[in-house]
């Protein structure tokens, strides 16, 4: 019997993405959408393109409830369920790869996900996502930043399929104003959920609520189940950033250093403390941090991987540090590397200036 795939999602006022989403989704055997109140023609266009659409509005919206309602639209004979938002799309050939790899004991599949893109069009944050799952084996939980939770996954395995690539090109005009209250609700419902506590602290930081961010991120770090070093390091970095914004530089430095102790194998901690030292004109310490960062050549594919750590900025900072420290040769070496990654005029002008200083010295 042929294995069937259903791609499904929730939508509201996504008319600008409908055609691209359907073009990508049509490799599946079924396409199902739960519309939560569109008024821009999304529903009509989806139906024109042959997508199964149902509509439902909510007095109090939460993402897990809506996604479970969309999951209920999937036909029983679809073994594989693929959750893809309207502003996401697969690279062609994804369904064939998925069907050929899927086995009777497969419960989840992880795939390569590009969450955003840099201004020059290169990939930004990239990690392995896992929203492909066996039908009737999982449900969605959490009011926001919702995840799949097993109903019964005994004997089921997770497979990695990095050749399946999903791209996210978001509508940045849409407000994320509902996220903070929904995250607060998530933590209220389950104060022991380390992931949600981390996300809530990060969201407070995004909103400039630095004291709340520090308090919440410290709560995350105190949880006994908060054991993922990468996420713990991120909490320390965000605490450090929040203290910096509050003008408490001693505590900022301490928490940036704690981030390095948690995850010395990722670049982000070295970048943040290197930038912190640079901003405080501690150029030798800044140079040491960035030089140590550049020794790390493996990029971990998780949602905390920062594109800035792999672009021109570390070399840019280093070039200025070495200039300030009087090492013009090193300044030129690093600005050359920065120019290779981003040939902008400011960097080229910096190089000319460094070279002019060497000529004057000679």
Q: Determine the pLDDT at residue 99.
A: 97
Two tokens at 205?
Answer: 């930081």
Tens digit of each residue's pLDDT, the chain (362 residues): 689 999 999 999 999 999 999 999 999 999 999 999 999 999 999 999 999 999 999 999 999 999 999 999 999 999 999 999 999 999 999 999 999 999 999 999 999 999 988 888 888 889 999 999 999 999 999 999 999 999 977 889 999 999 999 999 987 766 666 789 999 999 999 999 999 999 999 999 999 999 999 999 999 999 999 999 999 999 999 999 999 999 999 999 999 999 999 999 999 999 999 999 999 999 999 999 999 999 999 988 888 889 999 999 999 999 999 999 999 999 999 999 999 999 999 999 999 999 999 988 87
Cα–Cα distance list, 222 to 175, 236, 238, 251, 259 (Å): 32, 12, 15, 18, 15
All domains of the chain in start order, with CATH:
5-168 (3.90.550.10), 175-264 (1.25.40.10), 288-362 (1.25.40.10)
Q: Determine the pLDDT at residue 261.
A: 97
pTM, full prediction? 0.88
- The dihedral sign for the CA sequence 69, 70, 74, 78: negative
Q: Determine the pLDDT at residue 1.
A: 67
Give the three-state DSSP class for 92.
Answer: coil
86 Cβ contact list (under 8 Å, min separation 6):
9, 11, 14, 17, 18, 21
The alpha helices in the chain, defined as continuous H runs, are 18-25, 42-48, 63-71, 94-101, 179-189, 194-206, 210-222, 229-245, 249-262, 267-279, 283-294, 313-324, 328-341, 345-361
Secondary-structure breakdown of the chain: helix, strand, coil percentages, each rounded to the nearest 5: 50, 20, 35
């Amino acid at each position: 019997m042929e294995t069937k795939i259903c791609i499904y999602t929730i939508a509201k006022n996504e008319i600008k993405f409908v055609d691209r989403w359907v073009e990508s989704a049509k490799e599946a055997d079924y396409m199902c959408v739960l519309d939560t109140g569109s008024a821009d023609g999304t529903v009509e266009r989806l139906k024109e393109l042959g997508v199964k659409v149902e509509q439902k509005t909510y007095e109090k919206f939460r993402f897990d409830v809506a996604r479970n309602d969309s999951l209920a639209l999937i036909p029983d004979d679809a073994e594989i369920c693929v959750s893809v938002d309207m502003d996401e799309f697969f690279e062609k050939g994804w369904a064939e790869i998925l069907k050929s790899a899927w086995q009777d004991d497969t419960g989840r599949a992880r795939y390569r996900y590009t969450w955003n893109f840099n201004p020059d069009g290169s990939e930004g944050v990239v990690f392995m996502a896992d929203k492909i799952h066996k039908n009737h084996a999982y449900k969605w939980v959490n009011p926001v930043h919702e995840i799949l939770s097993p109903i019964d996954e005994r004997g089921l395995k997770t497979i990695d399929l990095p050749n399946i690539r999903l791209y996210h090109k978001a509508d940045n005009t849409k407000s994320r104003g509902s996220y903070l209250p929904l995250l607060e609700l998530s933590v209220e419902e389950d104060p022991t959920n380390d992931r949600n506590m981390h996300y809530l602290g990060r969201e407070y930081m995004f909103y400039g609520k630095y004291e709340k961010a520090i308090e919440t991120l410290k709560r995350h770090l105190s949880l006994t189940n908060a054991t993922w070093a990468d996420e713990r390091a991120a909490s320390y970095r965000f605490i450090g950033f929040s203290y910096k914004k509050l003008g408490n530089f001693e505590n900022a430095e301490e928490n940036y250093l704690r981030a390095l102790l948690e995850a010395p194998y990722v670049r982000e901690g070295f970048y943040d403390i290197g930038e912190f030292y640079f901003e405080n004109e501690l150029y030798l310490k800044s140079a040491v941090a960035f030089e140590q960062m550049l020794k790390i050549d493996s990029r971990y594919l998780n949602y905390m991987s920062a594109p800035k750590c792999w672009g021109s900025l570390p070399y840019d900072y280093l070039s200025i540090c070495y200039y300030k420290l009087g090492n013009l040769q090193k300044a030129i070496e690093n600005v050359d590397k920065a120019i290779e990654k981003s040939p902008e005029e400011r960097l080229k002008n910096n190089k000319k200036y460094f070279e002019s200083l060497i000529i004057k010295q000679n």
